[in-house]
Structure 1
Amino acid sequence: MWIEWDDNECQNVTNICGERGSCNNTAGSYDCTCVSGYTSTGQAKFQPNDGTECIDIDECKSGQICGPNSRCHNTNGSFYCTCQRDYIPTSGTKHFDPETGVRCKENPLKYCHDNIGCITQTVNKTLEYMSNITEPQSLLKEIVKQTSGELTSVQVIAYVEALCRSASTLSAEGKDFTVKPSVINSTLTKLVKAVNNLVEKDELVAWSRMKEERREHTITKLLHTVEESALSLANNYKTPTELEIKATEMELKLFTFNARHTKAKLSVTMGGDHINLTPKLRPEEDRNGSVSAVFVRYDSISDILKPSSDPGVTDYSRYAEAGEITVNSQVIAAAVRPADVYQLDHVTFTLRHNEPVDTQADVTSCAFWEYEADLLRGRWATHGCRTLHVTSNATTCSCTHLTHFAILMSSGRANLVAHRTVLTRITQLGMIISLICLSMCIFTFWFFSEIQSTRTTIHKNLCCSLFMAEFVFLVGIDVNTHKLFCSVIAGLLHYFFLAAFAWMCIEGIHLYLIVVGVIYNKGFLHRNFYIFGYGSPAVVVAISATLGSKYYGTDKVCWLSTENHFIWSFIGPACLIILVNLLAFGVIIYKVYRHTAVKKPEISHFQNIRSRARGALALLFVLGATWTFGVLHILHETTLTAYLFTIANAFQGMFIFIFLCVLSRKIQEEYYRLFKNMPCCFECLR
């Protein structure tokens, strides 16, 4: 009688179905199925060599498997749940299985950061729990465990305090015995992990909920603790060491070396940022001893360290208020100990910008986080630091001390946008009023026969030039979508504004000729005035267009570009004309008062000259002041110069009407005569 025995492949062959499969023996054969948490890519029951694999089941895709106010975390073959920020599991443990009935409830510490008593109680409770752990690595391991996941604001405060208290434990390690380098490395790694948990991007919400003073104190305490702990641990190395530790939101580099062997500067690159320490030149015998250098780069604390309403920095803003300053780089820290052995001469660093910088509009400043070790409340400061070079992507700085560095930025673009609407409305309103006033000036000087003279001819042409300039400015300054049209607008503005200046210059020359008593042919003089008033601007514009036509019109406005100082093709002639007029007025004043004292001229003649001089000076003041503000705005852009130039430029037509017409007794009489002959209008006015 034959007895057949079944060969149990499941027992005789190890892992015949693979690590994720389960073997099921059958009579004369066997089959495989996937273990719990995995699913088959083919049939539920399969053979090992038929190409079927067991892949992980992502339980988190099945919706709210963990319940409300929770998060699902998938793992290989399983999953676990945690609670969202401001909620805690009913079991009291961070990770839980929903099948056990654990759910998320509101954390009673949600608003604890607003109550000083609650903060103190929570911190003390955390410190009491941590005090039972005396071994440094175990202490840091527990902090890493407790800070994983989303934290409330008071939990951040409490664990920063716990880290701060652990610094004394870390510094005590190795005082009485030698610590292995591997132990120091492991301790530093756990320190970085713990700090990384507290400053990672997900925790920015918790930091933002803190009151400003509390936030500044807490982050300063954390930064100070990292620096002190790393330097204390580095002191335990007995041989020269280089160590690099990277986490998701921060990076630490540590060096220990003999100062006697250090001849060049110490250079470090972290995440694209560079920092160089240059020591003072000292005799070799004075450079004796071991030196520890620690460099830390933080990727996500820029928002935590954002400047407050009074950041202690006053020289970085063209347009912004203090609250509009941003930290536009990562924060990089450097510390060296002992400082008397490695005496720093200066530190240079290049930090990449978080956002590209417009070097024409934005202002960047090299800043450091300044604090006192006993108070541990920091603020941004700039003394001892200077900017070496700025590009759109990075800023290079030099400082005379070590601490936590960053680049502060005042966005001229953002703040100009806030003012642009107001400036535009002022321009539009002022230009319309000026055009009306200039029209009245032109009407007055053209049609009132009793006041016709060389002087009114000059004023008439000046007002016509300025009218055309302001009209073109009003309708075309922002039409920059078509390059050729924009260039034509810029050329017309260049010409008409120069023509206005030219006629202002003619006003000064004409007054000078009257005062010095030059006899001239009126027709000949007028002809030359027209040639100079309209010909000289044409020559300047023609030469400028020939040499730099591409600089007429910019991407922003239809005006002359400041690139390669092309704007000076207008400012230069304007300044020259102002200078000529000032010299002419100097001679006029000297002549008038000299003749008044010596020859006693007729009162009417003297009053006539004084009246003309007053009007000419008014023109010089209006046009000169306007473009003085314009030059100041080009050289040093501020909100003040922007408003001064806008108001002066927009309302200069109104000012000219007031000075040349409203304040002129002769023109007042002409207006009176005009209205007197128009009874209806006169009665209405009366």
Structure 2
Amino acid sequence: MELKWTLLVFLLLGLFLHISGSRGCSPGYKASKSGCDDEDECVDNICGNHSECINTNGSYYCNCKEGFRSTNTPNFTQSTGQCIDINECTENAECPMGMVCVNNIGSHSCECKHGYRESRGDSNCADVNACESSVCGAHSNCTNTPGSFFCSCSSGFSKNEKNSSCEDIDECKHQSGLCGSHADCENHPGSYSCKCHHGYSNYGNNQSKCIEITCNQFEAETQNTPEKLKSLLSLLMKSCESLRDPDGGRHLGEALLENLFTSVDELLSEGNLADSDTLSQFLGAVENSMRLIGPQLKEPVTRMETHNTYAEVAVKHGETPPTGSVILRTDSAHFNTSWETAAGDSYPGFAFAALVSYKDLNTSSDYFSGIGKISQEDESRERSDTKKGKITYQLNSRVVTAIISNPETKQLTDPVTLIFKHVEERAESKVMNYSCVYWNETQGAWSGQGCVKAWSSNTHTACSCSHLSSFAVLMALYPIKDTFALVLITRVGLVLSLICLLLCILTFRFCRSIQGTRNSIHLHLSVCLFIADLVFLCGISSTHNRGACAFVAGLLHFFFLAAFCWMLLEGVQLYRMVVLVFQTTLKHLYMYAVGYGVPLIIVIISAVAYPQGYGTERHCWLSLEGDFIWSFFAPVCIIILLNSFCFIITVWKLAEKFSSLNPDLSKLRMIKGFTVTAVAQLCVLGGMWVFGCFLFQEEGTQVMLYLFTILNSLQGALIFFMHCILSKTVREEYYKLIGRVCSQKEKKYSEFSTNQSSNSQHPLRTDQSTRESKI
């Protein structure tokens, strides 16, 4: 009993002591042997699972972990707040394109949308092609979309609303007149076909209407048709006949196109298109062939180039007529039209446009090598519109054929545009303009009716035409008609020049007092100019005869060059007279070699190198093509430069001799006079051909023309004046000659008077047998 009470006492005592000690430390501290120590409240996870407890001296506070936020203040205790989750997807979270944000407890994640999957190697999402698996069923088309897909029935099928399946459409039943009245419509799963009646065809396009096929255009029109053209027409006839037969075979359009242009190459290479009838057949065959072949081509655009041809064909097939513009290009032309124009009003289910360019048609025969032929209406119109003289025409573009599927092309509602590239780059002027023309097969000639020139430059011409055929660009050349004054000056002046040159020739040949090397040079110079002026007067306009015109041009080339060569010899002779005192003569053999040999060599080389250069359409002179005119002007320029050099040296030496101590004044004055006349002669002839550069130009000015004509007409008179009239020795010879002629006339007159008086004293004797009177 005592023991129990003893234990109870001790317990009560301990409890008292404990209560007494606790009351001695502040909150957050606990008693220890040394006193009160800080109590660590964070040991018991007092802040919860989504926060972090931070102990302080005598207390603590809580911080929310990442992805959470406090409901009160950032630093809180268990009694003042708690941590709740942050929804990053509604605040500042960002996900790559194609991904969506998913919120998690304390974080978030980016996941691919429905219909996408994560790409390998990066964090982006790629579309899942749902059409890789058969999700739409038979006769339907699956179309994948970003993140999804949709199904549509194939062409020729429609969706059954009850079970969403695709069922065949019977086009023949639901669309009346689908194949036209000349074909039988046959239905197929998802499609249909038109079986044409005999004599009709849809050119292998089984879903197009059938149109009537005629093959008469592939028959040879004349017996003179070239064999190659007959072979081509025969091939096309067989192809055409096979199209007329519904059970016949089919030719591939590409193969037919290749055969066509192979035959065209052979025809153009052989040059069998020299007459207008054959040309009309050829161009008509090409046009009809393209109408036969074009609808059979499968590719939207087909190009084919051979040695002599270049073609481009555009084709469109479909139930509805095509719209928009169509532009075709070859190496030499552009063709611009519209699909509405190509299809026409009666659309058969296809439309095509074609452009064919003939590379060598212009040079395959003589018919196209020079002057083009135009229709009588155009020629009469040109004559009434101009007073410039005879007009000549020349093709300056490649011939092209433009074809469309529309059969009604004689009068198009919307004109088509053709842009041609010029063969010869040349700008229009007052003596030349361009005309847009087409080949009129009825008249067998070029005609400008229905074609208007839209614009033109030196390289291209644009034509607007209201019909289709074979087209080209013609150059109309208007020769400048010589005025009456110019013709009068030329004829009168040349006649005067010929008289003066003839007097010069007689003077230099028979006047003994002036014989010498220089006189021989003047004699041959006068002979060359006399013959050149005579040929110029009689034959410069003989362009109607090609051979005679070329001969005249060759003579003018030779004698004008020879005149300049003899002038060069005169300059050399003067140089030798002043500089080489002991050797003042030239051997005649050397003079002939230079005076006649050098021009002959130049003319022979020129004629062999380019024989077509002699004679032009306007004058019998050297051609301007290929710079052939420089076969004359280049030697003339060289001679003028050499002569100028010789005269400069001569004048310089003369000045030195005049300034010497003992000059031979009489001889020096004589040489000075020779030099002055030689320089004046060079200026006259050389200056004449400076203006002559512009004489034969088609755009030469009238001023240059008059200057050349005047100088050329008066050169004989000038030479006669300088070398004969101004020469004292020659004048004395003329006085002697005139005196002898006058004395001879007086003597004859006196003798005649004496005889008259003696005869009057004797009567006439009559022969009785013959009854004739005798003096």
- Report the TM-score when normalising by structure 1: 0.40
Question: Which structure would you say has the larger RCO, counting Cα contacts within 8 Å and 6 or more residues apart?
Answer: 1
- Report the TM-score when normalising by structure 2: 0.36
